[in-house]
A and B are shown apart, each in its own frame.
Chain A
């Protein structure tokens, strides 16, 4: 009872001083050694993050540029090497065929396919016409 009355009679500041006078917990002494012996190495990832980001961007841009370059400057589809090697002056019939193909006004391969002709023979023909003037 006296104990309760004692607490009840205390002002706020007296209560605070009472609490402050009590023993307080402390961390174990071994923790100090553990903390002080920790490596003081800064976080590599945190410091290098902007560098990684820029490097990744450069690599992506370069890859994009390479892809664009490859698709736009790739070698054009031409006649098979064997057909070119066999090129001879075009005959009258072949010239007529070339004119007929040009009149189609549609992609040559499709025209050839629809007319039942072999595309390779078209390229050989074209090569010969170009060569003979």
Chain B
């Protein structure tokens, strides 16, 4: 597959089990589509818009010139998703579209006993400011390190860590019934 030449080193867990050992786009999609989609939903607040942005991210990967290899696919994809989300948000503001608001939690898919909890947390997450919400999505939702989050968002590592601490404190306050303003 031609697109695979953009990778300067073999993939890890997303490597395809092919005889040639060439990375398979399907395997990359399966490994990253979910995390990227949840990040995009968190950022953009809408499922459809997040899917469009996700498609753009993968098209960018597929059509990337082979002479520009990617050293760290995970970093590249989250960075590309962030850039795509920023562009989509700008376009939406320009078009004057209304804001949707979804978190990466899906309360409708919860187990019967967890629905109330899922709805509480979903509601609290949606009340966080965007800059805190995206850090929580990457740290809690996708288990990225602060270094990876900082690289994806283009902010200093300390800023990412500080936003995360603030977000957890606010989240706790919201869950306890406060307005989260401390």
Contacts and interface: CB of A to CB of B under 8 A. Distances in A.
Interface of A: 3-4, 7-8, 10, 12, 15-16, 18-28, 31-32, 34-36, 38, 40-43, 46-47
B157 interface: no
Interface stretch (B29-37, B81-89, B93-101, B147-155): B29-37
Interface string B20-47: 0000011001100110011001000001
B172 A23 contact: no
A24 to B, nearest CB: 6
B168 A35 contact: no
Interface residues of B, number: 47
A29 to B, nearest CB: 10
Given A7-B175, A7-B176, A42-B63, 20 more contacts: A4-B175, A15-B168, A15-B172, A16-B140, A16-B168, A20-B143, A22-B114, A22-B117, A23-B107, A24-B104, A24-B106, A25-B102, A25-B105, A26-B37, A31-B54, A35-B33, A40-B3, A41-B63, A42-B64, A42-B65
Interface of B: 1-3, 25-26, 29-30, 33-34, 37-38, 41, 47, 50-51, 54-55, 58-59, 62-66, 102, 104-107, 109-111, 114, 116-118, 120-121, 140-141, 143, 168, 171-172, 175-177
Given A18-B121, A24-B105, A25-B106, A38 B59 contact: yes
Contact of B168 (A12, A24, A46): A12
A21 B55 CA distance: 27
Contacts of B63: 40-43
A20 B121 CA distance: 11
Contacts of B64: 42
Given A31-B51, A35-B29, A22 B105 contact: yes
Contacts of B105: 19, 22-25
B167 to A, nearest CB: 11
Contacts of B120: 3, 7
